[in-house]
């Protein structure tokens, strides 16, 4: 379980000093992971926590009014606060707010460390198309090498568009198809693409992408998430999406 959560801050009035220690311990755990080039899930969780805490500080006064009630949670999809705070008097709430203000710079610094690792990995990554890119790219295949295990993982992806708050977001879902030992891989990944077409005939002309990276990084915690996000941007370019810029 992630030691850094909103629950930790809601219980802060019980022992502020102890909570500060827990925050620093959780951040140290994330820093250790980043030092090992393991980006996720720590980076994503810290970014969400930072955003939630910042929003709470910005909107605390509004949520104290009888009309809005207590925060009952955080809806990440809708980017809305629904978190239910415990019953706190004015002094206790002030302590929680002070703790949040203390924690935010520490969290931001560690987020920047994680983002640096992410960017270093992404800068060394290449994503190549295999064969001719079809007009339909919302479904296809993604090949990701796992250097430590000397394997190539073949995944089938599906790109979905999600509408919300006047914006369109792209979500990529992947399903593992098969793993190919590197010693059996032909120099041209087109061979694997042809095999996929024979094995899975529902995609007769699939969009197919092959990732290459010169460095060795953890597969699940770093390489796969980075490759998937790069693919989302690549697909945005090929479909003329407005969110094709690097984020």
**Kind and range of the H or E run holding 106:** helix 90-123
Instruction: Describe the crossing of helices 16-35 and 42-63 by its angle, rounded to 10 degrees.
Output: 150
- Output the pLDDT for position 91: 64
Q: Are 56 and 81 in contact (CB under 8 A)?
A: yes
- Output the pLDDT for position 146: 86
Q: Are 174 and 154 in contact (CB under 8 A)?
A: no
List phi, psi (to 5°) of 9: -80, -30
149, two tokens: 């295990």
- Per DSSP, 2 falls in state -
Interatomic CA distance for residues 24 and 4, integer angstroms: 9
pLDDT in tens, the chain (247 residues): 567 887 788 776 678 888 899 999 999 999 999 999 999 999 999 999 999 888 878 776 554 444 444 444 445 444 444 545 455 555 666 788 888 999 999 999 999 999 999 999 999 999 999 999 899 999 999 999 887 778 899 999 999 877 665 566 788 999 999 998 876 555 578 889 999 999 998 999 999 999 998 888 999 999 999 999 999 999 988 877 544 443 3
- Output the pLDDT for position 102: 94
């Amino acid at each position: 379980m992630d030691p850094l959560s909103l629950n930790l801050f809601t219980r802060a009035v019980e022992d502020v000093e102890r909570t500060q220690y827990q925050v620093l311990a959780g951040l140290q755990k994330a820093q250790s992971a980043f030092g090992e080039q393991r980006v996720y899930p720590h980076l994503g969780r810290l970014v969400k926590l930072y955003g939630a805490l910042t929003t709470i500080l910005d909107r605390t006064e509004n949520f104290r009014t009888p009309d809005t009630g207590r925060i009952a949670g955080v809806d990440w999809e809708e980017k809305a606060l629904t978190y239910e705070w415990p019953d706190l008097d004015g002094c206790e709430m002030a302590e929680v707010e002070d703790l949040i203000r203390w924690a935010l710079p520490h969290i931001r610094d560690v987020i920047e460390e994680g983002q640096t690792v992410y960017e270093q990995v992404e800068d060394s990554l290449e994503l190549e198309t295999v064969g001719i890119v079809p007009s339909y790219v919302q479904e296809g295949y993604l090949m990701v090498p796992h250097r430590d295990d000397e394997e190539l993982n073949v995944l089938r992806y599906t790109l979905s568009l999600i509408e919300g708050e006047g914006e369109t977001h792209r979500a990529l879902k992947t399903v593992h198809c098969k793993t190919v030992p590197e010693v059996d891989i032909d120099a041209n990944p087109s061979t694997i693409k042809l095999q996929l077409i024979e094995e899975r005939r529902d995609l007769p002309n699939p969009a197919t992408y092959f990732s290459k990276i010169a460095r060795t990084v953890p597969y699940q915690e770093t390489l796969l998430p980075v490759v998937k996000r790069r693919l989302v941007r690549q697909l945005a370019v090929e479909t003329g999406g407005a969110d094709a810029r690097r984020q």
